[in-house]
Amino acid sequence: MAFEHPSLPYAGNALEPHISANTLDFHHGKHHATYVTNLNNLTKDTDLADKSLEDVINAVAGDAAKAGIFNNAAQVWNHTFYWNSMKPNGGGKPSGDLAAKIDADLGGYDKFVEAFTAAATTQFGSGWAWLVLDGGKLKVTKTANADTPVAHGQTALLTIDVWEHAYYLDFQNKRPVYIGTFLESLANWDFAAANLAAAS
């Protein structure tokens, strides 16, 4: 059973004017698809081919000889999670249990925005910023390149991709504007709340 390339959870132009159909065409249609193809090629006829993506990631994490499998598996997982971390007319403040937990664990929404923006801005080179549940508490983290909370025993709630391919066509070098746009207009708090509820 080969690993699959999931469709976007919305139309390719659904995030315009913030993220263009052109960006999603390259990012989902080329970058994400290539990680899936690479992962299938690297795991073909091995015992990893029948495992879940999460199990593959954890089976090869930290094994330098299997870094290629880790990188492609983690990038498949991270990108699927990223598409779901956005929605048309998203952004702004979360509500309900998630908002209460952000207040309790992170000191409120404004502090979350500050921490998430700092993590996403200061991730040097390629990587990701995350809102995760770690040991029952919310944390804002960043990971380099393909690294993923899946490999660190954390439950991911929301992510932003800060590899240049995620924003360069729409924002050029202005990563902070992309991050601000994600928080103001794209973040899918329903998805984050569902992830929190599933983990609680």
Per CB under 5 A, does 182 bind Mn ion? no
Per CB under 5 A, does 147 bind Mn ion? no
Closest CA to 186 of 16, 30, 25: 16
Closest to Mn ion by CB, 163 or 189: 163
Smallest gap from residue 58 Cβ to Mn ion (A)? 21
Per CB under 5 A, does 161 bind Mn ion? yes
Q: Are 154 and 134 in contact (CB under 8 A)?
A: yes
Tokens of 12: 């390719």
Interacting span for Mn ion (CB under 5 A) from 53-61, 143-151, 157-165, 172-180: 157-165
Smallest gap from residue 195 Cβ to Mn ion (A)? 20
Residue of minimal Cβ distance to Mn ion: 161
Angle, in degrees to the nearest 10, between helices 67-84 and 33-43? 140
Closest to Mn ion by CB, 132 or 166: 166
Per CB under 5 A, does 163 bind Mn ion? yes
Number of residues that bind Mn ion (CB under 5 A): 3
Q: CA 150, CA 153: separation in Å to the nearest integer?
A: 6
Taking the CB of residue 5, how many other CB atoms lie within 10 A of it?
18
Beta strands in the chain (DSSP E): 127-134, 137-144, 155-161
Q: Which residues bind Mn ion (CB under 5 A)?
A: 161, 163, 166
